[in-house]
Amino acid sequence: MTSPQTRSAGELDSLADRNPRVPPQQLVAELVPPPRFSDVRFASYVPSPEHPSQAQAVAGMSAFGGRVLEGGGARGGLAGLFKRRAAPAGAPGIYLDGGFGVGKTHLLSSLYHQVVTEGGRSAAYGTFVEYTNLVGALGFLPAVDALAPNALVCIDEFELDDPGDTVLMSRLMRELVDRGVKLAATSNTLPGALGEGRFAAQDFQREIQALAGQFDVQRVDGEDYRHRGLQPAPAPLPDEEVERVAAARAGATFDDFPAVLAHLAEVHPSRYGAMVGSTTAVCLRGVSTVADQMVGLRLVVLADRLYDRDIPVVASGVPFDAVFTDELLNGGYRKKYLRAVSRLSALAREGAALRG
């Protein structure tokens, strides 16, 4: 059998050859914190003394978790939720608002573990796009039925990509609250301002305000990317070095960047996680700047799935802080693209260490 060190480019595994079929039941079963956050707890979050809101967020999220554990099973509507004297007081959801890199995902994952690992209750954890993909795969009412048995549903990186998703997520959350499910979400935008800069928010004000009214807001201050700037991406490697790393590392994939971008259009985003799940490193030859919005947003989802699974990226071409055009970076999806640049750059720094 050919050893990894002597494989040619044609013998290497390729992401562009993968098109996994994920059963809907698996999509539901995989609604758990990503491996990067599988062991975090409130106790492992270290609040900055310069930003008291961080310690307040820990206390607020932990208290909310206590309310989830004190609550009973699913109830038959909002009236039942609030009229029963034994029901915990407060809004049915908590919304963790803060800048980039202040630990919101750490806190949301800690809340999940408080409820599931320590409290023995059921919960679901996913990103905003994973829930919209779930609805697309199952249908709306089956998705509600699949999520409703949980005591808590956690929504990370709450985003409004388009008006249809606004209406969809608003309706989904109302249905879950009606069944007694508690909600927790993170975002970089206050709930009343969701959608600003992306579409005519006033046309969907009713839907946006309906979302906002379901959450108590817990602010998390701290230094964010708008003030500190993104860390520079590592220098790209030569093409032959990328191929050498791929050949030497068992489980690594090797692709031309344009081929991966084209393949992403053929795979539903709900399957990106399964597509990269068994990969030990993603090696990309010829990374180039992306100017198309749809291509860019698919790359954002791929970057999130790679980051969740802590998969190093080894790349040649342009550095990842130049992978999106200025037009995309300054548009309505700015936060998504900046997050992707930061995450891809971090994974590329890990990938650069594989050269040895």
pLDDT in tens, 22-55: 887 888 998 999 888 999 999 999 998 999 999 9
Largest CA distance in the chain: 70
Residue ranges with strand state E in the chain: 93-98, 123-127, 152-156, 182-187, 215-220, 252-256, 281-287, 313-317
The pLDDT of residue 293: 95
Dig out the tokens for 208 from the structure: 């946006």
Q: What does the pLDDT read at residue 45?
A: 93
CA 34 to chain centre: 9
Region of 116 (left: φ > 0; alpha: ψ -120 to 50; beta: rest) is: alpha
Phi-psi region of 155 (alpha: psi -120 to 50; beta: other; left: phi over 0): beta
67-106 pLDDT per residue, tens: 999 975 444 333 333 333 333 457 899 998 887 778 899 9
Angle formed at CA 143 by CA 113 and CA 34, multiple of 5 degrees? 30
- Percent of the chain scoring above 90 in pLDDT: 54
- Per DSSP bridges, beta strands 93-98 and 281-287 are unpaired
- Report the C-alpha gap between 37 and 310 in whole angstroms: 10
Mean pLDDT over 266-272 rounds to 87
Indicate the average pLDDT of the chain. 84
Mean pLDDT calculated for residue range 267-272: 86
By the 8 A CB rule, do 122 and 92 touch? no
User: Which residues make up the CATH 3.40.50.300 domain(s) of the chain?
Assistant: 31-226
Q: How far apart are CA 200 and CA 24, in angstroms?
A: 33
Q: How confident is the model at residue 166 (pLDDT cuts 50, 70, 90)?
A: confident
Per-residue pLDDT at 88: 45
Residue 196 pLDDT grade (very low, low, confident, very high; cuts 50, 70, 90): low
CA distance linking residue 30 with residue 130, whole number of Å = 10
Mean pLDDT, residues 176-194 taken together? 84
**Strand partners for 282:** 253, 313
pLDDT of 3 above 70? no
Residue 136 clears pLDDT 70, i.e. is over it: yes
Instruction: Report how far residue 66's alpha carbon sits from residue 188's, in angstroms, rounded to the nearest whole number.
Output: 25
Compute the average pLDDT of residues 223-237. Answer: 63
CA distances from 59 to 33, 133, 355 (A): 20, 32, 43
Contact 246, 253 (CB under 8 A): yes
Flag whether pLDDT at 251 surpasses 50.
yes
Q: What confidence tier does 325 reach under pLDDT thresholds 50, 70, 90?
A: very high
Is residue 278 predicted with pLDDT exceeding 90? no
pLDDT confidence of residue 110? 97
pLDDT at 221: 85
Q: Which pTM value belongs to this model? A: 0.77
Residue 206 has pLDDT above 80, yes or no: no
Distance CA 133, CA 139 (A): 10
Q: How far apart are CA 336 and CA 343, in angstroms?
A: 11
**Distance between CA atoms of residues 205 and 192, nearest Å:** 9
Share above pLDDT 70 across residues of the chain, in percent, rounded to a whole number: 83
Q: Pairing mode, if any, of strands 281-287 and 152-156?
A: unpaired
pLDDT score for 80: 32
Check whether 282 has a pLDDT greater than 70.
Answer: yes
**What average pLDDT does range 210-223 have in this prediction?**
80
- The CATH number assigned to the domain with range 31-226 reads 3.40.50.300
As a whole number of angstroms, the distance between CA 129 and CA 189 comes to 16
| pLDDT greater than 80 at residue 285 | yes
